[in-house]
Amino acid sequence: MPTCKLRMKGFDYEQIERDLDELGGQGWETVGSIAPSFGPGQAIEIGVVLKRPRTW
């Protein structure tokens, strides 16, 4: 799974979107997100919950 690190000016949201688009092309679907904070409104990481049909 791709990992996007927090930079000095925040997250690279364009890269996150590209990664999610690529995963979507592989059959993954975003079903939720988690952004734990360590202060008033300050998130240092974002977790994305994905699902796809099981293939045997």
| pLDDT tens per residue across span 1-51 | 666 666 666 777 888 889 899 999 999 999 998 877 777 767 777 888 999
Q: Domain of residue 40: give its range.
A: 1-56
pLDDT at 28: 93
Report the distance separating Cα 31 and Cα 52, nearest Å.
10
State the residue for tokens 């000016």: 9
Using DSSP's 3-state secondary structure scheme, residue 24 falls into helix
State the residue for tokens 């952004």: 35
The count of domains in the chain is: 1
Report the distance separating Cα 42 and Cα 38, nearest Å.
6
